[in-house]
């Protein structure tokens, strides 16, 4: 008790020395700080894994290139994929939920702040462990350092007999740790939204973002365990001589694939539903209209979550399942398109007739909308089993899922950063630099990933370190590599923008976008306790009600 | 001014604003994710029934641990009585039932240890013997691990009780812990059915 008071006095008088401030961040249990640490950590790994992608594009810029060796290329490919999913996508998105969910429901913190901190540090050290493999993985001479088994790590190729040394163990343990961390966050988000909503905020009045946060949290609870369980089995195989994936003892060669994709496909939606959530908050504010079809939006998200649990084997058409299996998984895959289409129409309906403001968050949202549509369409193409047989493991698949992961998710993450940066820091991000960032990133993205569809249609296989000249692939690959450089330049501008705006950006004030959800009713950045007095809400746009007492929303809901 | 106007025209919020306790929601979420985790091991077990290439097969070495099962299932009852007693403020009855729960849980663990000892030293049957061994030891072991974790938590509460720190204010906490214990019991019903009934 006494130490708490002393700390409070310290805060209010002189700024703490460097070490003291660092210590404060390490011991914090504040959801806002942990959220920012998640996002900051995720962005750091975004740059690292992005540079790895850039190296691969350099290697592939011209045929028969020798920038990196085949072995190094395999490691780059594995680390890039694993890091982008578990060390970039997951922490940034859970970081946003960490930061926003309590603010949006008028709570002072998550339900279990210490569990939250525990989850963050599990993620952090899990992430370090993955990259530490470059130093520590060389346990067996000639067996390689970093994992080189692909982000999917198909057993039995990851068994001891085929994957010597320690590199695969680093992959297993690192991802196991980060998954446990994510599970902790998911439990926290669910308990928070069920138990800590402020007075008047019924489930039907929660912002769409909070709804989708709960949906994603439930998906994490159900989809992460299959991966963790399979990883435990693989560890048992590798260290105790068990035979889960050992075909010589009668084990199955495709059981791992099933377990991995039972996790892996919902994982795609665990990553994309949060950006649906961002879009559902940002697009209305920049269209000056309420979200079109709130209930349908929520219902569609629940439907996507439900259906996505039953589509995993569309990643395995080439394995040779039964015709009935192929038909089932092709059909269920098509089915996802229905609720997804509903959401796209709802966002367009929100913009329709609105007073659009083309600020940077809105620009990124529009890019997201268009690119996500294209990604969905190529997804439907790949969901058709015979089409998939033709194009499986080609660059068409690479182009398709990068349209989802970059074109939709990364674009929308940037939109969210531009939108909520003022809330978290009290400063606006520079608009002009932001415009440069957006347009360069857009051009770079399309230069890279549009041609790769055609590389795939021409039969260029993925995960291969080079290709031969004279097969019509040179031009496509050169353009794609130039596009990667343009994207890197855009990200560099973004990094400069963050530094520049933190130091001397325009003061934001509590509500720079004239928005309607609760987080904009407190100061920027919010105090540690968020709200001095617990808010009371009567509609889905509580801040609108406060600003327009003569015409409150609850009259119409 | 604005807030005054708001308070006059805002629709009255229902007087009662009660949300579920965060501990209950949290433990329910944990149980949900643990269920998913166990399901994968159960699926692997069922998938590999009859696929072992070498003996021993389940019928050769397994006998249903009936006493163990009775002990573990009845511990669900005793933990429930314990929580009920604590709610009424009867700490002594609570302590007796709580200790009984721990004893029953320990009996289960010892029973498992005896069974494994017999399998390993008498039947020379280990996790690396065949697919049956692989799935048997991992599924039953995973459950035993959860029993151990539950027992540790039960023992911590018991020590706190002996130290006089537990009273009716903590009935909610013990109830949440009891949910976990019920879950471990429920999992045993599934594991028992899978391993000793279907798999045999």
Whether residue B37 lies inside any domain: the answer is yes
- pLDDT score of A272: 97
How far apart are the C-alpha atoms of B123 and A21, rounded to whole Å?
Answer: 61
Question: How many Å separate Cα A417 from the centre of its chain?
Answer: 13
Are A471 and A458 in contact by the 8 Å Cβ rule? The answer is yes
Whether residue B9 lies inside any domain: the answer is no
- pLDDT score of A141: 63
Listed residue (A116, A114, A49) closest to A86, CA to CA: A49
Residues of A in contact with B41 (CB under 8 A): 229
> Number of helices (H) and strands (E), helices first, in chain B?
7, 0
Residues of B in contact with A111 (CB under 8 A): 22, 25-26
Task: Give the domain CATH number at B93.
Answer: 1.20.120.80
Look at A135-139, A202-206, B83-87, B163-167 and tell me which has the smallest mean pLDDT. A135-139
Question: How many Å separate Cα A501 from the centre of its chain?
Answer: 24
Whether residue B53 lies inside any domain: the answer is yes
Residues of B contacting chain A (CB within 8 angstroms): 2-3, 5-6, 9-11, 13, 17, 19-22, 25-26, 29-30, 32-34, 36-37, 39-41, 44, 47-48, 51-53, 127-128, 130-131, 133-135, 137-138
Question: How many Å separate Cα A187 from the centre of its chain?
Answer: 18
| Lookup: tokens for A501 | 């705006």
Contact A250 B21 (CB under 8 A): no
What ipTM was reported for this prediction? 0.94
pLDDT band at B13 (very low <50, low <70, confident <90, very high): low
Contact A195 B6 (CB under 8 A): no
Whether residue B7 lies inside any domain: the answer is no
Going from the first residue of chain A to its last (557 residues), give the mean pLDDT of each consecutive group of 10, the final group possibly shorter. Answer: 45 70 93 97 97 97 95 95 97 97 96 97 96 81 80 94 90 97 97 96 95 98 97 96 95 95 96 97 97 96 96 94 94 95 97 96 98 96 94 96 97 98 96 98 98 96 94 96 98 97 94 96 95 92 91 85
- pLDDT score of A6: 47
Whether residue B192 lies inside any domain: the answer is yes
Whether residue B186 lies inside any domain: the answer is yes
Burial A73-99 (b: 16+ CB within 10 A, else e): bbbbbbbbbbbbbbbbbbbbbbbbbbb
For chain B, the domain total comes to 1
Are A413 and A97 in contact by the 8 Å Cβ rule? The answer is no
- pLDDT score of A12: 52
Whether residue B120 lies inside any domain: the answer is yes
pLDDT digits (tens, 9 = 90+) for A190-226: 999 999 999 999 999 999 999 999 999 999 999 999 9
How far apart are the C-alpha atoms of A296 and A372, rounded to whole Å?
Answer: 19
Domains and CATH numbers, chain A: 32-555 (1.20.210.10)
| Lookup: tokens for A161 | 């007999």
State which residues form the domain around B145: 21-198
The residue of chain A with its CA nearest to that of B5 is A549
Are A155 and A168 in contact by the 8 Å Cβ rule? The answer is no
Whether residue B142 lies inside any domain: the answer is yes
How buried is B165 (Cβ within 10 angstroms: 0-12 exposed, 13-18 middle, 19+ buried)? exposed
């Amino acid at each position: 008790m006494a130490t708490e008071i002393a700390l409070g006095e310290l805060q209010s008088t002189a700024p703490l020395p460097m070490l003291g401030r660092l210590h404060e961040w390490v011991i914090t249990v504040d959801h806002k700080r942990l959220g920012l640490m998640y996002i900051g950590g995720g962005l750091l790994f975004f740059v690292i894994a992005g540079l790895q992608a850039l190296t691969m594009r350099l290697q592939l810029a011209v045929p028969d290139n020798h920038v990196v060796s085949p072995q190094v290329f395999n490691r780059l490919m594995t680390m890039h994929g694993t890091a982008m999913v578990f060390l970039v996508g997951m922490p940034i998105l859970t970081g946003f939920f960490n930061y926003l969910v309590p603010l949006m429901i008028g709570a002072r913190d998550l339900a279990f702040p210490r569990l939250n901190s525990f989850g963050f540090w599990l993620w952090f050290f899990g992430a370090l462990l993955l990259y530490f493999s470059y130093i520590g993985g060389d346990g067996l001479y000639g067996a390689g350092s970093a994992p080189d088994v692909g982000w999917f790590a198909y057993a039995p190729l990851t068994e001891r007999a085929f994957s010597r040394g320690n590199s695969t163990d680093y992959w297993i343990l690192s991802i196991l740790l980060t998954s446990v961390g994510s599970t902790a966050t998911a439990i926290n988000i669910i308990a928070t939204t069920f138990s800590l909503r402020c007075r008047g905020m019924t489930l039907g009045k929660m912002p769409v973002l909070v709804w989708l946060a709960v949906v994603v949290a439930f998906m994490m609870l159900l989809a992460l365990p299959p991966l963790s369980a399979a990883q435990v089995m693989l560890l048992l195989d590798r260290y105790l001589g068990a035979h889960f994936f050992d075909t010589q003892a009668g084990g199955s060669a495709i059981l791992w694939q099933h377990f991995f994709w039972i996790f892996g496909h919902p994982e795609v939606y665990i990553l994309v539903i949060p950006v649906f959530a961002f879009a559902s908050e940002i697009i209305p504010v920049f269209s000056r209209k309420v979200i079109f079809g709130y209930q349908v939006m929520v219902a569609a998200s629940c439907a996507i979550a439900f259906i996505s649990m039953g589509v995993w084997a569309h990643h395995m058409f080439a394995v040779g399942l039964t015709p009935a299996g192929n038909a089932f998984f092709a059909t269920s895959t098509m089915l996802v398109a229905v609720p997804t289409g509903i959401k796209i129409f709802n966002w367009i309906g929100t913009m329709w007739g609105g007073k659009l403001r083309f600020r940077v968050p809105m620009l990124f949202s529009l890019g997201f909308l268009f690119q996500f549509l294209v990604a969905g369409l190529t997804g439907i193409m790949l969901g058709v089993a015979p089409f998939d047989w033709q194009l499986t493991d080609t660059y068409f698949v690479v182009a398709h899922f990068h349209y989802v992961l970059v074109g939709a998710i990364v674009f929308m993450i940037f939109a969210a950063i531009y939108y909520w940066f003022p809330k978290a820091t009290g400063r606006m991000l520079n608009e002009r630099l932001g415009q440069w960032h957006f347009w360069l990133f857009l051009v770079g993205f399309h230069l890279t990933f549009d041609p790769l569809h055609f590389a795939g249609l021409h039969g260029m296989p993925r995960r291969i370190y080079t290709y031969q000249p004279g097969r019509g692939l040179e031009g496509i690959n050169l353009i794609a590599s130039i596009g990667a450089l343009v994207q890197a330049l855009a990200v560099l501008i973004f990094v400069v923008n963050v530094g520049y705006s933190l130091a001397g950006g325009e003061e934001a004030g509590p509500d720079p976008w004239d928005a309607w959800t609760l987080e904009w009713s407190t100061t920027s950045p919010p105090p540690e306790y968020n709200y001095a007095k617990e808010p009371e809400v009567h509609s889905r746009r509580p801040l609108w009600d406060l600003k327009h007492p003569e015409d409150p929303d609850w009259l119409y809901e | 001014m604005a807030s005054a106007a708001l308070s006059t025209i805002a629709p009255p919020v229902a007087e009662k604003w009660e949300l579920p306790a965060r501990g209950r929601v949290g433990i329910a979420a944990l149980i949900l994710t643990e269920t998913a985790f166990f399901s994968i091991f159960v699926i692997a077990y069922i998938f590999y029934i009859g696929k072992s290439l070498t003996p021993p097969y389940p019928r050769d070495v397994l006998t249903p641990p009936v006493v163990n099962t009775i002990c573990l299932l009845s511990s669900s009852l005793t933990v429930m009585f314990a929580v009920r007693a604590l709610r009424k403020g009867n700490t002594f009855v609570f302590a007796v039932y709580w200790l009984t729960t721990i004893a029953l849980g320990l009996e289960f663990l010892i029973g498992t240890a005896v069974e494994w000892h017999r399998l390993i030293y008498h039947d020379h049957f280990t996790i690396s013997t065949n697919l049956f061994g692989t799935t048997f030891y991992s599924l039953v072991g995973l459950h035993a691990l959860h029993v151990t974790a539950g027992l540790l938590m039960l023992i911590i509460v018991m020590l706190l009780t002996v130290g006089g720190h537990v009273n009716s204010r903590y009935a909610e906490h013990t109830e949440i812990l009891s949910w976990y214990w019920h879950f471990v019991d429920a999992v045993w019903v599934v594991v028992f059915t899978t391993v000793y009934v279907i798999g045999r």
